[in-house]
Structure 1
Amino acid sequence: MRRLWFLLTFGLIGTAILLALGTWQVQRLTWKQDLLGNIEAQIGADPVALSDALEPQFRRYAPVAITGKFDPGHIRMLASRKTTGAAYRIIRPFETLAGRRILIDTGWQPVGVEVAEPPREEMDLIGNLDNPIEADGFTPAPDIEKNIWFARDVPAMADHLGTDPILVVLRDGPQSDLGVTPWPVDTAGISNDHLQYAITWFSLAAIWAGMTFYFLWRPRAKKG
């Protein structure tokens, strides 16, 4: 009898823990969906001046409108697109009318295509502030000689091109052709696996409860 009580207690506690983990993931799913909705609303909002998006604090994803000229130089960052495969993000220095030099992620182009020089005339751009955390301990160091980078490391790119560590990702291409296709900011890269985790925990809870019932039922079945 003690063995049966132990199995019942152990089974109920295990099932309760797994159900609690599943419920927690459902709550996390709701939180993540609200977060993604807020980010998407911010990404698509009306653009503001760059200074308004930087002060009093940096507002990631804030849409900004800037006017100025591209400076010589660029960075090629190796990336991958689902529909086209390997591609390069082309990141250029840009000087605003206020004299601030920043980074512009102008978009992507296929590997093997020569990077065109940007127009030197003054132009208006609309994009979103971003500070992607892509570099980690496993990211290779950039190949400076071949101008191939493997992550958007904003401080390192800014130091290389002599700009402030501020990155704006173009939302739409300007009227002047930059030789690239815009790759605007979106929420596709933000993971949201909480539904799968919830299903996993609830499934384990059902299995745990089923195994508990089986081990409680088996001695009685043998006696019968």
Structure 2
Amino acid sequence: MSRPRRPARLILTALLAALGIAGFSALGVWQIERLHWKLDLIARVDARIHADPVPAPGPADWPGISAESAEYRRVALSGQFLADKTVLIYTPSDYGPADWVLTPLARDDGTVVMVNCGVVPDDIARAGGVTTPEGPVTVTGLLRISEDRGWLFSRENDPAARKWYRRDIGSITATLGLSPAAPYFVDAELGDPAAWPRGGQTVVAFRNAHLSYALTWFALAAVVALGAGLVFRHELRGRG
């Protein structure tokens, strides 16, 4: 089988090189954009978690709540826990297999907010070892956005059996008949460090490897450009 003629090889090399350089460069630029987004997120979350608590948003503010506008904001709310409507959601933890303990808090204004009271080892939770404070309480914690969407391999919620595998607040409050209910939940801060459930478990450390990813993509674009240059040099020398 004969080799392609030199002009055809040069054209093919140029096209492939252009595609490679453009593609890798685009990925590098995308990672730079992600880097700026991640740095803004880290700065925003750091400022919010160390701020003085503000009243948890009421019904008038619910339509405008989003991750950008409110997530990880430190809030305070008062009311009484509805212990009989507690929901356990399985989660891996530093204590081994465990459960999030989500209990609705009925506020004085008649609204309900789901409070993630913390984590408890699964064997303790399933044995009924979860205690809920009685009477009026004030909870301070971080506002979190409902986990409405599952991950690629996450199990589907089963509201009919009252089993949830993510903190899907809309599904939980609707199934429990709680209304009007906030579309967010609150991660309670750490109280008694020896008690269960144990609050203060919010993960606020975000992995940031976007710069290294960007450099990798730009390096690949440079390798393609260098390889194309060597091919052209070889072909042109051969032609001379």
Q: TM-score, normalised by structure 1?
A: 0.79
Identity of aligned residues (%): 25
Amino acid at match of 2:147: I
In structure 1, distance between residues paired with 2:61 and 2:158 = 31
Q: From the two aligned structures, give the one with the greater helix fraction.
A: 2
Alignment of 1:52-131 (within 5 A): 55=61, 57-58=64-65, 59-73=70-84, 74-81=86-93, 83-113=94-124, 114=127, 115-131=129-145
Amino acid at match of 1:105: N
Give the secondary structure class of the aligned counterpart of 2:223: helix
Q: Give the structure 1 partner of residue 185 of structure 2.
A: 167
Greater shift, 12-21 or 116-125, is seen at 12-21
Q: Give the structure 1 partner of residue 228 of structure 2.
A: 212
Matched, 1:152 2:129: no
Given the alignment, which residue of 44, 56, 59 partners 1:50? 56
Give the secondary structure class of the aligned counterpart of 1:209: helix
Q: Give the structure 2 partner of residue 28 of structure 1.
A: 34
Q: Deviations over 1:134-181 (max 9, x none)?
A: 543853233765x542111101111233331441111232x6986211
Q: CA shift at 1:117, angstroms?
A: 3.0
Q: Give the structure 2 partner of residue 202 of structure 1.
A: 218
Amino acid at match of 1:70: F
Give the secondary structure class of the aligned counterpart of 1:112: helix
Amino acid at match of 2:190: D
Give the secondary structure class of the aligned counterpart of 2:52: coil
In structure 2, distance between residues paired with 1:52 and 1:154 = 16
In structure 2, distance between residues paired with 1:178 and 1:162 = 29
In structure 1, distance between residues paired with 2:200 and 2:158 = 21
Contact conserved, 1:119 with 1:176, CA < 8 A, in 2? no
Q: CA shift at 1:54, angstroms?
A: 6.0
Aligned residues: 220
In structure 1, distance between residues paired with 2:59 and 2:221 = 47
Q: Give the structure 2 partner of residue 39 of structure 1.
A: 45
In structure 1, distance between residues paired with 2:133 and 2:193 = 7
In structure 2, distance between residues paired with 1:54 and 1:44 = 25
In structure 1, distance between residues paired with 2:107 and 2:99 = 24
In structure 2, distance between residues paired with 1:29 and 1:20 = 14
Runs of 5+ in structure 1 lacking a partner? none
Distance 1:219 1:107, change over 3 A: same
In structure 1, distance between residues paired with 2:59 and 2:83 = 26
Contact conserved, 2:28 with 2:214, CA < 8 A, in 1? yes
How large is the RMSD of aligned CA atoms in angstroms? 3.3
Q: CA shift at 1:20, angstroms?
A: 4.1
Q: CA shift at 1:127, angstroms?
A: 1.1
Greater shift, 162-171 or 136-145, is seen at 136-145
Q: Deviations over 1:89-128 (max 9, x none)?
A: 0001111233322211000011111332312132221012
In structure 1, distance between residues paired with 2:99 and 2:60 = 27
Distance 1:93 1:176, change over 3 A: farther
Give the secondary structure class of the aligned counterpart of 1:79: strand
Runs of 5+ in structure 2 lacking a partner? 1-5
In structure 1, distance between residues paired with 2:222 and 2:59 = 49
